[in-house]
Amino acid sequence: MIIATAGHVDHGKTHLLQALTGTNADRLPEEQKRGLTIDLGYAFMPYLSATTQQQETLGFIDVPGHEKFLSNMLAGVGTAHHAMLIVAGDEGMMAQSYEHLAILRLLAMDSLTVVITKSDLTTVEQQQQLEAQLTQLLFQQGFTEPQIFHCSAFTGDGIDVLKAHLIALADNERQQQNDLGFRLAIDRAFHVKGAGLVVTGTALSGNIAVGDSLQFVSHHKLKQGQTQTKTVRIKGLHAQGKTAQTATENQRVAMNIVGDIDKQDLNRGDWLVEIAPNTVINRVAVALTANTNIKHWQTVQVFHAATHTTGRIALLEADEVKAGNSALAEITFDSPLCLAEQDRLLLRDPALKTNLGSGLVIDLLPPNRGKRKPDRLAYLTQRAPLNAPKDIIAFKLANKPQSISELTWQHQCSNIEQVACDQVDNEISQYGDFLCTSTYQAQLQHLIIEKLAQYHQQENDHIGLGKDRLYRIAALNQPTAIFNALLTQLLAQQIIINTRGWLHLASHQLQLTEQEQNYWIYVAQMMQTSQEPWWVRDLANACDIDEDELRTLSYKLAQLGYISAIVKDRYVTHEYLIHIANAVRKHIEQNQKLETADFRNLSQLGRKVAVQILEYLDKIGFTKRKFNYRELRDEDLLKG
Ligand SMILES: Nc1nc2c(ncn2[C@@H]2O[C@H](COP(=O)(O)OP(=O)(O)O)[C@@H](O)[C@H]2O)c(=O)[nH]1
Ligand SMILES: [Mg+2]
């Protein structure tokens, strides 16, 4: 376990840690000369655990109290789950005591221990008075069970009682979730003679052992838009200040690493992780807790773990959030952060130097559009109170199919399939990288059938449509792997039929009467006499059939897929279409594109009718128009 200190400058934080651990955490020469903490310091306290009956170690991060070094203070408390607020008994609460207390509240520390120190300088009455004042203040701030201790670093008064409390706290720490990926927020890097590069930091989650490999995520590289990570190997480890073979979450860790990496590549706030994000995170959705009034599009400083950036808050529900309230928001970063879901961001006003609030990350990939649409807000409202990864994953799956690789880094969890299957009542199927519930599959199949029926109603002169186009109208933005699998099922069940490459409902199947069949043989022969598409009127004249009668027959022939209307009333035979499609396919395969002039050459058609056919091929989704040329869109269509 790690406990971070907090409190006003000169209130005795560093001396208290020395009394608890014997270590002076002010390690920089300048700090020792000035007696002032500037950067983070570290100290360790060995103890015998009552639960494990083993020698364990409690780690401390000592932070500077001076407001000038607040970003260092935040890098310290940003990675710890437990804090100790230290207040000098002779001075009481001062500016940074209040400020740090607000930060600890906003970061939702698992525990807060309050220590009134320098008891050798105060009377018992003074101590009792301050304790009463603090109890009230803490209660107002939402700390319902404040633990307040009195001690002196000079006389040792109260140190043993405080120690016993901290040990009990460590022994009761929440059960570790060992299936999470290892994450280390780097705070220092240096060279050790003979060993090489060493980095230190706080392990936020997971386990690691000597010999393991990790991915180095650099904020500098993220800024340049690079998500590519570098692999490093762990040559040696220190956990909680001692040589170790393994290290685990909530420990201070020092690692001797090897890899294609130099000390100057490493900066405070960078990461060593087991599972790196595969995308740059520039914008996230958060559950916002406001500490002051917050306005829409306000500029903010964003602190995360041991790093920080600037950005803006987009409020999703109103133009302003009042102090003390919660709201849904998006935060856009000026430079990307390496985040996981449920990470907490501290938000400060860069100009006023106040704590604006905090944001709990609830969506790492918010949609580009419709961030304030009612269904999006409803989704976020339901998502916000969920805590455990298994509950969040179940919720996401109930909403839509999920990519396993995305869930893996979003939740830093390497056995997503297992978690998903254990949790969701609904049966889960896997299609490629996607997981999907049976309810969702049923919904999507239903939608495919519904869209196809609609299509039949609207385009009653055509038998059906190609797979690509059906995907676009029925399963917009859904994973193609799932769509393909479901379509295959529908085809196998003969709910959907594939006739000459056209997909249509089984119910949408016609048959020609004997007379119509005879007409069709005759019409088909006539159509073969010309390479040009036929207008119904011309065809009726040529075949000597009543024009209206032929028009009705043509609809039916088109529904059956024998002929196709390239524009209203103008038809080509299916064979002709395949012949044209083959020529187009071949041309595009050889030349990557097809221009109108090329098409006229290969079809030997006049300009007007050539354009009609080209536009028809676009409409059915065989080709796609770009500028003045065309590319293939669904090359499986019209194969004969
Ligand atoms: N009398 C007394 N002085 C203390 C005690 N703890 C710290 N101090 C003094 O308070 C000053 C600030 O202590 P320090 O630990 O550096 O405070 P920090 O800035 O909160 O880390 C130093 O001059 C210490 O000698 C204490 O328990 N009793
Ligand atoms: Mg200090």
Does residue 534 lie within any of the structural domains?
yes
Which protein residue's CA is at the shortest distance from atom 6 of ligand 1?
Answer: 12
Same domain, 215 and 242: yes
Domain that holds residue 314: 284-385
Give the ligand 1 atom nearest the CA of 151.
27
Question: How confident is the model over 7-28, as pLDDT tens digits?
Answer: 999 999 999 999 999 999 998 8
pLDDT in the model for residue 178: 63
Same domain, 214 and 162: no
- Is the confidence at residue 409, as pLDDT, over 90? yes
Does residue 502 lie within any of the structural domains?
no
Same domain, 522 and 620: yes
Q: Tell me how many domains the chain contains.
A: 4
* Cβ of 154 below 6 Å from ligand 1: yes
The predicted model gives 239-247 an average pLDDT of 94
Per-residue pLDDT band for 175 (boundaries 50, 70, 90) equals: low
Neighbours of 582 (CB within 10 A): 13
Distinct helix (H) and strand (E) counts, the chain: 20, 34
Same domain, 147 and 28: yes
- Is the confidence at residue 541, as pLDDT, over 90? yes
Per-residue pLDDT band for 416 (boundaries 50, 70, 90) equals: confident
Distance from C-alpha of 219 to C-alpha of 16, rounded to nearest angstrom: 34
Pocket test for ligand 1, best of 10, 18, 115 (most atoms within 8 A of CB): 10
Question: How confident is the model over 321-353, as pLDDT tens digits?
Answer: 999 999 999 999 999 999 999 999 999 998 878
Same domain, 96 and 208: no
Does residue 408 lie within any of the structural domains?
no
Same domain, 146 and 31: yes
Distance from C-alpha of 128 to C-alpha of 132, rounded to nearest angstrom: 6
The predicted model gives 89-106 an average pLDDT of 96
98 close to 323: Cβ distance less than 8 angstroms: no
Same domain, 100 and 239: no
Same domain, 52 and 155: yes
pLDDT in the model for residue 423: 65
Written as six digits, the tokens of 162 are: 């405080």
Which protein residue's CA is at the shortest distance from atom 12 of ligand 1?
Answer: 10
* Cβ of 71 below 6 Å from ligand 1: no
- Is the confidence at residue 188, as pLDDT, over 70? yes
Amino acid identity of residue 541, one-letter, is: N
Per-residue pLDDT band for 198 (boundaries 50, 70, 90) equals: very high
* Cβ of 117 below 6 Å from ligand 1: yes
Q: Of the candidates 364, 385, 406, which is a domain's last residue?
A: 385
* Cβ of 8 below 6 Å from ligand 1: no
Helix axes 547-559, 536-543, angle to 10 degrees: 110
Per-residue pLDDT band for 176 (boundaries 50, 70, 90) equals: low
Does residue 441 lie within any of the structural domains?
no
* Cβ of 38 below 6 Å from ligand 1: no
Ligand number nearest CA of 66 is 1
* Cβ of 508 below 6 Å from ligand 1: no
> What is the CA(36)–ligand 2 centre distance, in A?
6
Same domain, 345 and 226: no
* Cβ of 46 below 6 Å from ligand 1: no
Does residue 479 lie within any of the structural domains?
no
Does residue 439 lie within any of the structural domains?
no
Note the pTM of the prediction, 2 decimals. Answer: 0.80
Distance from C-alpha of 473 to C-alpha of 552, rounded to nearest angstrom: 28
Per-residue pLDDT band for 407 (boundaries 50, 70, 90) equals: very high
324 close to 105: Cβ distance less than 8 angstroms: no
- Is the confidence at residue 509, as pLDDT, over 80? no
* Cβ of 118 below 6 Å from ligand 1: yes
Q: Residue 563 maps to which CATH number?
A: 1.10.10.10
Which protein residue's CA is at the shortest distance from atom 11 of ligand 1?
Answer: 10
Same domain, 251 and 355: no
pLDDT in the model for residue 497: 92
Distance from C-alpha of 216 to C-alpha of 231, rounded to nearest angstrom: 6
